[in-house]
Amino acid sequence: MAEPTPKPPVVIRRFAEIVGHAPQKALLAQAEARERAHHAYLFTGADGIGKRRVAYAFIARLLCKQPIALSPGADPSLGFEACGACRNCIRVFETPTWYDDRAPFPAKEDAPELAPRHPDVMTLLPHGQYIKISQVREVLRIVPFQPVEAPVRVVVIDDAHLMNDEAANALLKTLEEPPARTRFILLTSLPSSLLVTIRSRCQKVAFARLSDAELMTMLTQLNADPAAIARAIPLAQGSARAAIELLDDPLGAIWEPLARELLTVRDQPSVHALAASLAEIPQLDAVFDRVARLLRDALLIRTGASAAAHGLFHRSLVDALTTWAQSQSSESILHRLELVEDTRQLTRTFNMQARLAFERLLLEISAPVGAEGARPMLARRDIL
């Protein structure tokens, strides 16, 4: 008889264990401690930076039977957080994939299994393209009743911008007259796509991208290979999820030498050889993404904007990038960026042989300003 599959361990993520987002965690913990918590929160910020993790740590705090001080020995007015050990906490954190850093982030279609196992936590995720009115109605049917076990019930609306108009309007009525002992947490990377009336009913908690130092702390805790961490951080642009996915980047260590060659290649035989090397990489899309990022870096250098925001994807290639960018104009770099997408479409939709497609692209990238031959073959007007 086959052994039963062992249950994966529950990964606890309390506030203290989530890297970054200190002001947001403090705000939530303090509001709760001072009984000034809002009935509806809107968590905003880029995808993959940790909004969901903080949301579930906060839910555990709300449901926890024995909350503990946010920082040991600290003033209690600074707030409390989940103990991570009581029966309520365990059930909130028992949703396996979202709390295990190394597990793949699941497709939204797999969502039902991801609902926390606590009866007072409800999670709405898109069914197909949208969060539909039938899903919102199901929630609204339940919220007038008392929570089953916990002092409060929490409804999470994940990717809240994907509520269709009917669903959003149905929810709005409830946010205007919130039921007692129910909290809503809406998560979104696109707050401007939400109804203004919904936004105005929620307390906004804006999350920032993680700093490089925070990403470093997080990836180091995962015992990842230091070389993979060093490659992942600049490409992740402050997203924890992107950084984790990049640890298993298919291009990994092979990309940097190719990128350097791409910036310096001049003569036809070298173009042919490099095109052949790029065409051998099975993940063509990843190659096109990288070429586009390389040209974007060059554009930032050319326009003097490279110090802005999170800077360059290819920091280790800054010398080669600068030399190449100085030989170009902003317009000529933009033209080459356009050709990258054009070439991607040629290989994807029209089955152009990858080697030939890269040759065409590389000849353009290596051509001096004004000597470009290729024009995008698939300009939008031609497709439509």
Q: Contact residues for Zn ion (CB under 5 A)?
A: 64, 82-83, 86, 89
- For the bound state, the minimum distance from the C-beta of residue 86 to Zn ion, rounded and expressed in Å, comes to 3
Query: Which CB atom, from 23 or from 151, has the smaller least distance to Zn ion?
Result: 151
**Backbone dihedral angles phi then psi of residue 123, each to the nearest 5 degrees:** -120, 125
Query: Which CB atom, from 88 or from 343, has the smaller least distance to Zn ion?
Result: 88
By DSSP bridging, strand 80-81 and strand 68-69 are antiparallel
- For the bound state, the minimum distance from the C-beta of residue 61 to Zn ion, rounded and expressed in Å, comes to 8
Query: Which CB atom, from 60 or from 320, has the smaller least distance to Zn ion?
Result: 60
Query: Which CB atom, from 60 or from 171, has the smaller least distance to Zn ion?
Result: 60
E strand or H helix at 102, and its extent?
A: none
- For the bound state, the minimum distance from the C-beta of residue 87 to Zn ion, rounded and expressed in Å, comes to 8
Query: Which CB atom, from 90 or from 334, has the smaller least distance to Zn ion?
Result: 90
* C-beta separation of 84 from 14 below 8 A: yes
- For the bound state, the minimum distance from the C-beta of residue 83 to Zn ion, rounded and expressed in Å, comes to 4
- For the bound state, the minimum distance from the C-beta of residue 65 to Zn ion, rounded and expressed in Å, comes to 5
Sign of CA dihedral 216, 222, 223, 226: negative
The three-state secondary structure class of 123 is strand
Query: In 225-366, which ranges are continuous DSSP H helix?
Result: 226-236, 240-246, 255-264, 268-279, 284-302, 318-326, 330-349, 354-366
Give ∠ CA 32-157-119 in degrees, rounded to 5.
Answer: 70
Cα radius of gyration rounded to whole Å, the chain = 25
- For the bound state, the minimum distance from the C-beta of residue 84 to Zn ion, rounded and expressed in Å, comes to 6
- For the bound state, the minimum distance from the C-beta of residue 78 to Zn ion, rounded and expressed in Å, comes to 18
Give ∠ CA 149-153-159 in degrees, rounded to 5.
Answer: 140
Residues 6+ apart with CB under 8 A from 42: 160, 186, 188, 191, 194, 198, 199, 202, 203, 204, 205
Could you say which DSSP state residue 42 is in? E
Query: Which CB atom, from 86 or from 195, has the smaller least distance to Zn ion?
Result: 86
Query: Which CB atom, from 83 or from 340, has the smaller least distance to Zn ion?
Result: 83
